Amino acid sequence: MEQLIENKLIKADKTFSEWRKVPFEERQRLIAKAAEILKSNSEKFGRIITAEMNKPISQSIAEVEKSALMMNYYVEAENILKPEKVDSEYTYSEIHYVPKGVILGVMPWNFPFWQVLRFATPAILSGNTVVLKHASICFGSGNAIEEIFLEAGFPEGVFQNLEVGHKEVKEILEHDAVKGVSLTGSGKAGGEVAATAGLNVKKSLLELGGSDAFIVLDDADLDKAAKVGAQARLQNCGQTCVAAKRFIIDKKTEDEFLPKFIEEYKKFVPGDPNDKETKISGMARPDLADDLEKQFNKALENGAEIIIPLERISDNEFNPGLIRVREGNPILQEELFGPLGMVMIAENDEEALKMANDIPFGLSNSVWTANKERQLFFIENLESGTVNINRMTSSDPRFPFGGTKASGYGTELSLLALREFVTPKTIVGN
């Protein structure tokens, strides 16, 4: 291991021995300062995001502001890590929540500030220290976040950015100083990291891919569903784990809904990412565009039909595409990470549910219906970490975020995230 990285891990471990003793309220005070720095410089940090991965600047600024909002949620959060007294016959009868130590974050490029801070904020508030392995195109974001923590007054070593490639992750995770890992990324990367963590008996949290369903029933508000559906697929150029990817439409409303949806979809025309009016720009890298184009062709080879062609207009830009896909197409078992949506037609609610669940993933689904009984049917039977009713998927600091099946395990956001990287320590005796 490179000596610089070794030194940073040792520093994180040494800092942890003191940081764990800092009162919860003092940690919150420092997080409030970091949130204020973020909010006051949202355009500056947003421009770093746009420069690194092509996100439209208005969305980059919104990402920074949402990160500040999330941090302020934890500033006001109840301290659920206080010792809990348990009624019993013993003199000592308590549960203490003990931070684990240095936690490695392996984070992606699609939300360079949000993903990092969503993981790091509750981990640090719980008394841990954090080292970050960011995506290789986002080292600028990682360094900026480290500077924010230092400027806010956090001790050196509480948050450190490591400029390393994916090949170094295994060795870092195996290091004695590192006690756990949180990864947001692909299923392949998640499996490799989970395997290393398991072999070394270290806690892991995985937030992996999704192929979320956007289910439109015949009693839905079709105008709103069409408008929100296009945004749900194409925000961040479709490079979002919780983006709507499969539009499952009730056959009874197909003829009315599809034209509305196509009209809204075609409003997303690629533009200059530095223009605040731009709603969609290029993908983060040309190789990612290559991958999407291959998946598009694979879908067509297996019977998919073009509704709107996926048209490549530069190395990393597309006019967004939409295809009709039937059950059995192997593309349904993959995640489309880019501006390409799939439409499926369901005969009834039962078939719509089967289609929604018949994939490896289980991250988040959206159901559009005005009928309470139909809503409850899907709420109770959809296999996903989140179900949205008459709205698109968007994470909220107040609610747990995570998936099931191949979409991963563990909880981010909400108060529950404060207990992800702590050990419940039982104290019993007289």
Q: Any idea which residues carry the catalytic annotation?
A: 207, 241
The half-sphere exposure of 159 on its side-chain side, counting CA atoms within 13 A, is 28
Number of neighbouring beta carbons within 10 Å of residue 25: 9
Are 40 and 21 spatial neighbours (Cβ–Cβ below 8 Å)?
A: no
Within 10 A of 301 (CB to CB), how many other CB atoms are there?
Answer: 11
Q: Are 282 and 54 in contact (CB under 8 A)?
A: yes
Under 8 Å CB-to-CB from 14, ≥6 apart: which residues? 157
Separation in Å, CA 231 to CA 267, 294, 391: 10, 24, 11
Asked whether the CA dihedral 383, 384, 387, 392 is positive or negative, the reply is negative
Rg of the chain over Cα atoms, rounded to whole angstroms, equals: 22
CA 228 to mean position of chain CA atoms: 19
Q: What is the DSSP letter of 413?
A: S
- β-strand 129-133 against 102-106: which pairing, if any? parallel
DSSP state of 208: -
Among residues 204, 154, 160, the alpha carbon closest in space to that of 179 is found at: 204
Bridge-based pairing of strands 159-162 and 129-133 is parallel
* Amino acid at position 406, single letter: A
Query: Max Cα separation, the chain?
Result: 74
Are 237 and 389 contacting, i.e. CB atoms less than 8 angstroms apart? Answer: no
CA atoms of 241 and 6, how far apart (whole Å): 32
For residue 393, give the nearest of 180, 187, 245 by alpha carbon. Answer: 245
Rounding to the nearest 10 degrees, give the CA dihedral for residues 132, 138, 139, 142: -50
